[in-house]
Structure 1
């Protein structure tokens, strides 16, 4: 059942790669992490290609677990990071469904399969994987059922069991895995578990449960200290994403309509919460009505799990609702998580578990009202179908792209802005044509010998002492040595934040590395010692058990005749030690090979596509004609009634923006850069040949000489006119239907919650100009009026406008 559910959830990959919101950033991180591992870095922390090659300490603050797995999987798959990344997600999906089945198999029996099915269609989990691209949170969610199963077993185990018994070890491993996959998910999970633990300790009056759960969590944190300690201690050295903003205040579930910046997204999230919650509430009511939750004999396992998942559900709903605003305001750890709707991830597992338990109760109950079981089963079926339809709409939300096109774009993705840039780095002009090394002071010449992720090697000839500035941001951990092993001073260049290396006069070979600080080294030792100690504790009972079985016992013949026949389970105990582990490992290998083979056949390897699979080509053939060449070599022509001036193709979708003018082809007004001719814009579907005119005011042709599509192809920004704002569209809308306006910026200075709001545009002569894209959803532009030009940055995803500067025009 878990394997079948995993195949169904990953089946949309047969259509192509879902263009999830964060796909580009995670692929860029995974590809750089893999490359850094290949260069010999045991724990890559500096991703050198981000921010147009200035790099960022991103992996100090991102948990490395998913990226280690993706790097290893891509190596096994011949270096294809896309196949390796999704192979890891597929294996984690199997692990997640297996955890749900194990969690429910004992208390729910065969109805554990229903819990797996409900988790399969949980809309938020599907949204997370195929639409949002929250891959680390999705991976941590796959481990969460195993953590819940360990907690259930800890609460029910005898007092005489050891402090690090098998359930406690399972809990420690689960928490460590979640910490190394996604920190926000784990912090919320531990917060939910803490409330249950206090309740369980008071109810059962057993301090041993409290000690065991706390000890397991402490072990997990010690094992993951290599990531946790630097991530928490170095936060003051970087600019945190959306620092100082109370983002959580506008992201609660069940807020009044229109409270979110995007009402459509708010409606989607509310449905993703209501469907599984309705099933859980009705199921809980039936359990209570039928008195199945009472403390009857033999119901300990059932009641223990029911109490656990019901409390997790209630807490998750409370923390995701505006009723908990006071907690988010008062607890800094919660406020930094930013998004209360993250708790829908935890709700997916606990809600599915409650529904499965209710189905088991109703179907096993000998209640005279037999129609209740059929009514509840029908209710579950209807809501399951509704959740399935919602999940399918989430899968289709952003469309798909061929794998080879995604692979071609990874190089561009690696140059995008990244989270956690060092403080002061925002002053650096991020231009792609900057030199790798510049002379800051002195008379110095030289050449770059090696430029790797965390290592630079430079030969210099310095006539005088001076300093060189590298195309790398300074951050704690960078160090420089000369050929004699002497340490050279490194600092941040004033005004830019670049890595500045002071060099003495003479000829030198500089070795510049990003390495461990005393804190990072101490954290590594804590993790190593904790992991070794934990491994010894886990192995010792197995060794003792093995030695005990190898010790022969002396039993007389008369005593042997009186012994009862062995139980079948004893035959399993007499198997060769480790045979069960080997079988599981063999099964894992078979599944991994099948998935790797299937994905490799579906996705071509990295590299330039063959001529037969080349992307569509759109070119201008005449004054008003375009020729479109398909991948199979066929061509067709599209003719416009106006003169075609420019064609800009989308990097991912089969779309092109076509700009036209009413001027004749031989008009002198069409010669750039003379911005006199007016222009209109059409969105052309390069597969069907259909095109859709964007209803804009006519704008001057010179305004169109910029990249309309965002770097990842998800958005189109159209300048309505020089005297008005921008219209922003989602490219995926044109793939399946005609596009609809997403953000209408006809009142460009509307209040967007920006810190530095520009003055309102009361003067109709204000002229706007597009500057460039600064990220997949961020662009900059200028507005000039009355002798002053203001520069602005607009974040499409956050709908946030910020003024970045101003200057007086000559």
Structure 2
């Protein structure tokens, strides 16, 4: 029954499509929609990972996939390619599938600890919590974060195996889970990096926490192809926005909330209250003190709740990497996962199916009630749901589709951050020289004897050359890309190419892959040799006595 409720609520996303931006509906939907459309277009041109999107910021380009993890958008682009859907319905379908995947991954994790029925009940209950079922997929349309929530149970599963293993066993799997999370959503990964050691400590004490820290470091190295360019090019990528001071405005009980935060904070307190009530059913004091899943989930629940509240203010002031999370309420991702695990343990220890079902049914009513309220009480002239083509055109002309965080630093210093928040902009755009050919990741200019300005923002990844060698590029006063040839040049190519940071990142990732494979070799040998040794022992003991078996 709980799983049916999850399927029905998740089906709202593909059925109703991608919501139009509003105060209470689809806040980040336009960005996700246009990013997917541009990524799909890049795939059609043969570019799998277009770190620079030439069509964003109204066609002036931006650093989107230098700082934004691409994995969730790759999945949506693959879904669009397989199904033939346009970006809007493909994104709605992908959102629904990620929400269903959350139940599947949580079930795999919890099945190691409780019977299948209890594991499924806990996984479905966690997926019905308001932050997971309402705030992220509808109110905020946090597509990448919804995908990251579905991967969190896999990280917990990997940590379970790592804590149970000896020596290096399980570290490779945990590192892979951390890397997948880093490639999906950086704020959730950052929060996991701070809270998962607490979970590992709850499972296996200090040894578990230390092994978790080691796995996190290896996971960061494994994701080096993304993380190193993101960090190395930070000063060129409008880095001030990555350490946004708005986190202080989002701490629970710290500042007067707006109506949107009241809904989010209410969801936080409701989930925490349900988790504590279920913990009372599942826990006894001796079990909470002993290492194990119950203690680990209790620590994770309380740690996630503390990070959203004003009591954690010293941590936010002392740990600058936390400010990159920007919104403390994002720790609800880990809070919801903890509540799912506690619900499964409560069902296994003291089954209360009716109470859990009635609570789940009440939670499942929140998303449709919220959507009905927004549609019925919202401004009558504001469109709420549009057909696919209308939805894409709406996003293309809306400033919310182009994140000012992805305007390069040189252009931001020239004033483009303020300009891209409204449309149209007051500055004239440079026109391409006659005969210039647009390439998948740049331009080809037939002849250049004087400076040529392109309708793209300047970024260090741009490079220019002709048959005689490289040509200099620079930023104009307005932040545009300018070719400044020091000689007459013909058939000039101006392209976005991998920077030194990207090359170093790929080297680090490949070396880490090789190291983890070497780490896994002894385990693979043992797994291969153990069945053969057992077979030989049984033959020698006469357990397997047939002539054919003896010959084998």
TM over 0.5: yes
Q: Please name the residue that 1:588 is paired with.
A: none
Q: Please name the residue that 1:228 is paired with.
A: 227
Report if the CA contact (8 A) 1:28-1:413 is conserved.
Answer: no
* CA distance 1:15–1:81, change in 2 (3 Å): closer
State TM-score, norm by structure 2.
0.84
C-alpha deviations, 1:305-352, integer Å up to 9, x for none? 111111111001111001111211221111222211111121111012
Report if the CA contact (8 A) 1:75-1:84 is conserved.
Answer: no
Query: Equivalences for 1:356-371 in 2 at 5 Å?
Result: 356-363=344-351
Higher strand residue share? 1
Decide which structure has the larger Cα Rg and report it. Answer: 1
Unaligned regions of 5+ residues in structure 2, if any?
21-25, 376-383, 420-424, 547-552
* C-alpha RMSD over aligned residues: 3.1
Task: Tell me the CA shift for residue 487 of structure 1.
Answer: 0.5
Task: Tell me the CA shift for residue 194 of structure 1.
Answer: 2.5
- Give the Cα–Cα distance (whole angstroms) in 2 for the partners of residues 555 and 105 of structure 1: 32
C-alpha deviations, 1:748-787, integer Å up to 9, x for none? xxxxxxxxxxxxxxxxxxxxxxxxxxxxxxxxxxxxxxxx
- Give the Cα–Cα distance (whole angstroms) in 2 for the partners of residues 528 and 244 of structure 1: 29
The SS at the match of 1:400 is coil
Task: Tell me the CA shift for residue 245 of structure 1.
Answer: 5.1
Q: Please name the residue that 1:600 is paired with.
A: none
* CA distance 1:155–1:532, change in 2 (3 Å): closer
Q: Please name the residue that 2:492 is paired with.
A: 510
- Give the Cα–Cα distance (whole angstroms) in 2 for the partners of residues 135 and 57 of structure 1: 19
- Give the Cα–Cα distance (whole angstroms) in 2 for the partners of residues 517 and 362 of structure 1: 57
The SS at the match of 2:114 is helix
Report if the CA contact (8 A) 1:64-1:180 is conserved.
Answer: yes
C-alpha deviations, 1:571-600, integer Å up to 9, x for none? xxxxxxxxxxxxxxxxxxxxxxxxxxxxxx
Higher helix residue share? 2
- Give the Cα–Cα distance (whole angstroms) in 2 for the partners of residues 277 and 335 of structure 1: 23
Query: Equivalences for 1:152-551 in 2 at 5 Å?
Result: 152-157=160-165, 161-163=166-168, 165=169, 167-197=170-200, 203=205, 207=207, 209-240=208-239, 242=241, 246-255=245-254, 259-260=256-257, 262=258, 264-289=259-284, 293=288, 304-363=292-351, 379-396=355-372, 397=374, 399-409=384-394, 411-412=396-397, 417-418=402-403, 419-426=405-412, 427=414, 430=425, 434-437=429-432, 446-460=433-447, 462=449, 466-482=450-466, 484-493=467-476, 495-504=477-486, 506=488, 508-535=490-517, 537-538=519-520, 541-542=523-524, 545-546=527-528, 549=531
The SS at the match of 2:84 is coil
Task: Tell me the CA shift for residue 554 of structure 1.
Answer: 8.0
Higher relative contact order (CA 8 A, sep 6+): 2
Task: Tell me the CA shift for residue 186 of structure 1.
Answer: 0.6
Q: Does 1:112 align with 2:119?
A: yes
The SS at the match of 1:503 is coil
* CA distance 1:75–1:333, change in 2 (3 Å): same
The SS at the match of 2:110 is helix
Report if the CA contact (8 A) 1:18-1:395 is conserved.
Answer: no
- Give the Cα–Cα distance (whole angstroms) in 1 for the partners of residues 39 and 389 of structure 2: 20
The SS at the match of 1:424 is helix
The SS at the match of 2:451 is strand
Question: Which of 78, 81, 91 is 1:72 aligned to?
Answer: 78
* CA distance 1:58–1:558, change in 2 (3 Å): closer
- Give the Cα–Cα distance (whole angstroms) in 1 for the partners of residues 49 and 17 of structure 2: 32
Task: Tell me the CA shift for residue 513 of structure 1.
Answer: 0.8
Q: Please name the residue that 1:38 is paired with.
A: 44
Q: Please name the residue that 2:104 is paired with.
A: 98
C-alpha deviations, 1:31-59, integer Å up to 9, x for none? 11222233233421111112221111121
* CA distance 1:433–1:492, change in 2 (3 Å): closer
Task: Tell me the CA shift for residue 80 of structure 1.
Answer: 2.6
State TM-score, norm by structure 1.
0.59
- Give the Cα–Cα distance (whole angstroms) in 2 for the partners of residues 243 and 223 of structure 1: 22
| Equivalent residue pairs, number | 518
Unaligned regions of 5+ residues in structure 1, if any?
296-302, 364-372, 438-445, 564-810
The SS at the match of 2:536 is coil
Report if the CA contact (8 A) 2:6-2:124 is conserved.
Answer: no
* CA distance 1:391–1:461, change in 2 (3 Å): closer
Query: Equivalences for 1:593-672 in 2 at 5 Å?
Result: none
Report if the CA contact (8 A) 2:114-2:345 is conserved.
Answer: yes
Task: Tell me the CA shift for residue 452 of structure 1.
Answer: 3.3
Report if the CA contact (8 A) 2:202-2:292 is conserved.
Answer: no
C-alpha deviations, 1:386-413, integer Å up to 9, x for none? 4223333344446432233223445435
Q: Does 1:145 align with 2:153?
A: yes
* CA distance 1:415–1:51, change in 2 (3 Å): farther
